[in-house]
Structures are given as structure tokens and as C-alpha cells.
Structure 1
Amino acid sequence: MSLSTLARPQSLVETVSQQLAQELLREGASEWLPAERQLAEQLGVSRSVVREATKRLELQGLVEVRHGIGIRRADRLHQPLNSSITLRVPDEPERLRQSLEARLAIEPEVARLAAHRATKAQLQELREAHAALRPDLTLPQAVEADVNFHRTLARASANEVFCLVLETLADLGRASREATITQAGVQRAIRHHQSVLEAVLLHDGPAAARAMRHHIEKALEDLQSHLEGQRNLVER
């Protein structure tokens, strides 16, 4: 007897979650979902099904449930991976080091792809993101400007998987950026970004990858020096 595996029927919660996710990800979608009661009526399900479905979407980082206010669209699809990495590598210094190693493996390829795939609009966004990183910024402002340059480059690579993974690493790695900018100064980050930008503008993929690899390698060296300095202070 030859039997094939039967497909598991979807639960109502799964069906509603998928339907809401499709609506939230639709271009031009509203920032807020209708009220829970209204959603239940529109979908023909109970409020408890809607509640479980929105909880699932919240865990996935697609919505933010504000009790007493409503359900708001969110853009934190990387959040589950963020939580998983934090649980897997609970020691923060080690987590920062491993995050930078992951960026070293990924971001040169992101830069190479961006050099070949970026649209004119994305190239302009990249110029603006680069110009936003200035020596007169406070440390938190410089960190956010640095994150935004790398985020803009990832979008220009036209690879959504890279975008999600790098958004996770950006969330986990803000402390490492603070350390490396403090260690080497914002001017060096600006010079490195300039090298990447120039290569991308010239559509020179290999040069963009080399410039990004150099940038992340130096950041990894700076982080290691910073962590060693902290250990030495503790041991004294």
C-alpha cells in the first residue's frame, strides 16, 4: 500500500494570521488595523481567534499591540532572530564579536550587489546617508547615522534576506558601534564609508566588496582592542 502524507489543515488562527500579514505587507497599507471586534466581524471569526492571530503577528515583529489603543503595523520582522541570538549567545562581549564576524561574512557581498543593483534613487539615498554621518554628532547620533548607511546599502542590494539579517545584527551591535567609534573616531568611519560609496557609484562590485571588508575588519580589530581594555580595567 502506498500512502502519501496528508497536508495538515490550517487552523483558523493560522488563516487569519496569514490574511492579516498579507494586508499589512501590502503597499499603501494603513498604519493601524481595525479594532478587534471589527476585525472579527469582517473575517467572520471570534474575537479570541483575532486576538491569538495578532499575538502571533506581534511575536513575528509585524504588529505592535497597544492595549486600549489598537494594533499598529510594525517593521520588526527581524525581532525573532534577534531574540534567538541573544538567548544562544548570552555573553554580550562574545555576542558583539560574533555579530561583527557575521557582518564581515555578509556585508562585502551586500556592497558588491549594491554596486550592480542600486537604482538612481537608491544611489541618492546612499549619498544622503553618507553625508548624515558627521564629526559634530553625539555618539548616539553617530551610531544611528552609521547604522542607517549600512541599512541603506543593504536595501540597494535588493536582497530582503540580507536586509533582515543585517537589521538584526544592527540591533544587537549598537554597543559594538559605540565601542569602535569611540576607539577609532567617527572620521575613520566616514573615510571608509566614502570608499564604499565611491565604488558603488562607479558600479565597481569587487572594489565595493574590498572597501567594505576593510571597513569591517578594522571595526573588528577596534572592538577586540576595546574589550581587552575593559578586561584590563576589571583585573586591576
Structure 2
Amino acid sequence: MAQASLVRRSFRFVALVLLGLCLLLAALLVLFRFVNPPTSAFMIAHQISGSGQGVQQQWVSLEQISPWMPLAVVASEDQRFPDHWGLDVHAIESAVREFASGEGLRGASTITQQTAKNLFLWSGRSMVRKGLEAGLALGLEVAWSKRRIMEVYLNIAEFGRGIYGIEAASRAYFGIPARYLSPSQAARLAAVLPNPKVFSAAQPSAYVWQRAEWIQQQMRQLGGTGYLAFL
């Protein structure tokens, strides 16, 4: 009897903790719709990693970012960004089929999911993290506009070791503010996003150059900056 009571209390405690976390996340989602996040989970993880490198980041509004940059990340990462509600069902189905056939678990993440991951979660490819990422992405799509999602994403994305956000990346790699990025420069920065700790925009490998060229082709096929005129 006492053991059953202890189990019930334990379940109640866990449920209350989970409810509290959900309410906290919901409050942060609403807050960050209007207030720029002061940091992100990835930036905090970098600071406590003991790498000895500080964080370079400077927040800028979407108006202060070259329109080629949002187009480059959409062309590279998430061409259905204007239409989906946080999850790309087609990409997820493909990733699940590959995983079921014995291949590794790949990303299939939308820009919304990546924003949720960078802001609140941790790196890695576990199913638990992917589930949390998906739930948070749906919450972002409800609480924020597409414009806000893109603005936050470009300001917290990692572009190199300790370099977060497009303004810091643009100044570090090209010596210019983000508002002056050309199509080719935007494509090169977008090309390193899948793995910014390995790929370099400063010293691009043959793969990065090839990927940047492909991104520029996709940017043209999407119709240029008019594709994201709604932002």
C-alpha cells in the first residue's frame, strides 16, 4: 500500500515537472515573439564546453540583412519553408524509410525545426531530441510569423566555431555588414550550415565550393528574392 502511494506521488511529481516545463517553454515562445533571445542553448553549450573560444554574435533585424541570405538558406535547407507548418512531411517520410532500411538517422529538419533546436535543445540525432524539436517547431509556427522565425534563425545559427548569427559571420568572413552580402557570399555561408564545425566559409573545401554553386543555382530556380517577398 505504501509502495503504491509512493509510486503515485512520484508520477504526480514527474507530471507536475513536465507541466511546468511545458508552461515555461510556452511562455518563452510568446516572449521571444517580441523580445530578441539574449542567447541560445547552442551558445550556452559552447561557452561551457571549455573550448577557450568566446561567442561572437551581434543581433540585427531582418531589414539589416541582405535579402540574398534568407533566400540562400531556404534554397539550401528548406525550400518548402513558405508553405509548411514547421515540419516537412515528405522529407520526414523519406528519412524514416531510410532509417528503417538500416541507414543512419538523417536530419530532414526545416528551418523552423533548426530554430527550435538551436534555441532550446542540444546537438545530436536521438529520437527523443527529434521529437522535442518537432513539437517545438509546431509551437513556433503557431506563436511566431515566418518572418520572425527567419529573423531568429539567422541571428542564432552557428556559422563557425564560436561564430553565431549572420552579422558576426559576415564580418568575420567577408569584413562587411550582413546587409551587403552578395548572392555568392550568402550561398557560401549557407553552404557551411550543415556542419559549421567542419566546413569553413573562410577556407572553403572543394565540397563547400560545389555546394555553394548548387545553392546559387537553386536560388535562381526559385525566382530570386521575390520567392520570399512575404517576409
Structure showing greater radius of gyration is: 1
Higher relative contact order (CA 8 A, sep 6+): 2
Identify whether the pair has TM-score above 0.5, normalized to the shorter chain: no
